[in-house]
Amino acid sequence: MQINRNTGIRSMMKSPRRLANSTPIKRRVGTPYGGKMTRAEPRIIVAAVAVFTALAGLGASIRGLLSDSPGLVRYGAAALVLGVGCFVALLNITTRDDA
């Protein structure tokens, strides 16, 4: 630990002598903080789309109930059921998943 003479604040930086003796930090080039970039799985993206489909179906059902439109209520309910069903099916753990 070093103390800055101007501010009197301790610094956790290593001294130049200790820095020269330490081992270099190995980082991967091209990614922030040296981490590996991961791609989102396609089923996660489809599950997110299914959630928004379910929300649109809920909105359509409510709009159909308020405007007395039975066709809109049926299609909205079908979209709601389909969206929730796809969301649940896509987020179930499969045998390929790492636990």
- Residue 34: its pLDDT value, please? 54
Q: Domain locations in the chain?
A: 42-94
- Residue 93: its pLDDT value, please? 74
26-79 pLDDT per residue, tens: 555 555 555 565 667 888 889 999 999 999 999 999 999 999 999 999 999 999
Q: What are phi and psi of 30, to 5 degrees?
A: 100, -10
E-assigned strands of 1-99?
Answer: 2-3, 10-11
- Residue 38: its pLDDT value, please? 65
User: Residue 71 to residues 8, 50, 78, 82, 89: CA-CA distances in angstroms?
Assistant: 74, 21, 11, 16, 27
Are the CB atoms for 73 and 64 separated by under 8 Å?
A: yes
1's tokens:
């630990």
